[in-house]
Amino acid sequence: MLFQVRMDVHLPVDLPAEQGNQIKAVEKAYSQDLQRQGKWRHIWRITGQYSNISIFDVESNEELHNILQGLPLYPYMKIEVMALNRHPSSIREDDR
C-alpha cells in the first residue's frame, strides 16, 4: 500500500540544543533504515519549512501507523496521511 505523508516538525523553543541534536540523529538513522528496507520510498524537503513529503510502501494502515509512531520526532510533529491508488490512466505499471 502506498501512502503520501506530510510531516511538519515543531520543536519546542526551549528544547536544549544537545537534546534536539540527539533526537535528530536517532531520527535520521531510523528513517534511513526504513529507506533501505524499501518501506520509506521517497522523502523530499518542503522549501523554507521544517517539513517533508514522503512516500511509504507498507503492508497495512497499522504498519504505517506503527512506523510513524516510532519516529523519535513524532511527539513534535503534525502528520497528514493520504492513501494512494494507481490511476487507471497511468501509462506505468510500477512506481518509478
> What does the alpha-carbon distance between residue 11 and residue 17 come to, in Å, rounded to a whole number?
10
Q: What is the pLDDT of residues 71-85, one digit of tens each?
A: 999 999 999 999 998
Is residue 94 included in any domain, yes or no?
no
Is residue 9 included in any domain, yes or no?
yes
Q: Is the pTM of this model over 0.85?
A: yes
Is residue 96 included in any domain, yes or no?
no
- Domain of 69: which CATH number? 3.30.70.1060
Is residue 78 included in any domain, yes or no?
yes
Integer CA distances (angstroms), 39 to 17, 22, 47, in order:
30, 24, 24
Is residue 51 included in any domain, yes or no?
yes
End-to-end CA distance of the chain: 15
As for how many domains the chain has, the answer is 1
Structural domain including 63 reads: 2-84
pLDDT tens for each residue of the chain, 96 residues long: 999 999 999 999 999 999 999 999 999 999 999 999 999 999 999 999 999 999 999 999 999 999 999 999 999 999 999 999 888 898 887 766
Residues 6+ apart with CB under 8 A from 81: 3, 4, 5, 64, 68
